[in-house]
């Protein structure tokens, strides 16, 4: 989902700064609520875990160029379900920044676009989760249809934002539209895999039970 260098340039980059600021601000309230409810130490621990995971998603897991961008297995719904919305958001932003600083400094001008592409779908997915998952249901009890819906919202949002940046930068050309179609089609594989990963990780956490007391998983995983 990386926006490639040269797709959006010049004054058009100002928009990416604005959208990234909106995305970050949208999670500020969730972060403060979690600190008040669970403490700063728990937030920090989960945010570090999320950052490490995101860095691995970008640098360790397979990724390949397709159409207007690259297909990455960014497990946004997994991070959200296991670690919570605020740590997931912090991890996505921090992991992307570390990856850019260490391995891909040429991606830093696109950082605002990439953060937007990762965080605003996370915000949409969290809103959908609040609507479709009853408040008294621990995430460990979710069914396939629930996690599939979350994966569709998150990965669909990623594809939509990549498409927006490509069209914003290059316009409605035949090559751009073809590239977007190829990219979106490739993400079907990610949507198919992510719910299975979600269920497997949720089952593992439920089977062990221990992480609940340590604060390294969100309380909602095992108790509503």
Which residues neighbour 24 within 8 Å (Cβ) at sequence distance 6 or greater? 89, 93, 115, 119
pLDDT given for residue 184 in this prediction? 92
pLDDT given for residue 214 in this prediction? 62
pLDDT given for residue 87 in this prediction? 94
Residues of the chain with pLDDT under 70: 209-214, 224
Residue 70: strand, helix, or coil: strand
Q: What is the pTM of this model?
A: 0.92
Closest CA to 88 of 99, 80, 96: 80
Terminal C-alpha separation, the chain: 33
Which residues neighbour 196 within 8 Å (Cβ) at sequence distance 6 or greater? none
pLDDT given for residue 95 in this prediction? 95
Q: Quote the distance between the C-alpha of residue 54 and its chain's center.
A: 9
- What does the mean pLDDT of the chain come to? 90
pLDDT given for residue 62 in this prediction? 85
pLDDT given for residue 37 in this prediction? 82
CA distances from residue 54 to 14, 93, 97, 105 in whole angstroms, order as listed: 26, 9, 10, 17
Class of CATH domain 10-219: mainly alpha
Q: Any idea what DSSP says for residue 63?
A: E
List pLDDT tens digits, range 4-51.
788 888 888 899 999 999 998 888 888 888 888 888 888 999 999 999
List pLDDT tens digits, range 68-82.
888 888 999 999 999
């Amino acid at each position: 989902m990386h926006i490639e260098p040269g797709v959006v340039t010049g004054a058009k980059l100002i928009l990416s700064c604005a959208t990234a600021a909106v995305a970050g601000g949208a999670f500020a309230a969730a972060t403060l609520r979690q600190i008040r409810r669970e403490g700063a130490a728990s937030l920090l621990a989960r945010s570090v875990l999320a950052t490490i995971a995101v860095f691995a998603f970008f640098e360790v897991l397979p990724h390949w160029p397709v159409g207007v961008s690259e297909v990455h297995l960014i497990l946004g719904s997994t991070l959200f379900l296991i670690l919570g919305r605020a740590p997931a958001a912090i991890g996505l932003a921090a992991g992307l920044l570390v990856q850019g600083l260490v391995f891909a400094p040429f991606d830093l001008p696109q950082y605002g676009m990439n953060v937007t592409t990762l965080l605003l779908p996370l915000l949409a997915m969290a809103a959908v989760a609040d609507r479709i998952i009853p408040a008294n249901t621990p995430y460990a009890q979710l069914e396939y249809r629930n996690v599939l819906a979350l994966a569709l919202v998150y990965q669909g949002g990623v594809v939509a934002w990549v498409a927006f940046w490509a069209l914003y930068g290059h316009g409605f050309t035949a090559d751009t539209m073809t590239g977007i179609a190829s990219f979106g089609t490739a993400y079907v594989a990610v949507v198919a895999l992510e719910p299975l990963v979600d269920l497997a990780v949720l089952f593992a956490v439920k089977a062990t039970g221990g992480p609940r007391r340590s604060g390294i998983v969100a309380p909602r995983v095992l108790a509503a």
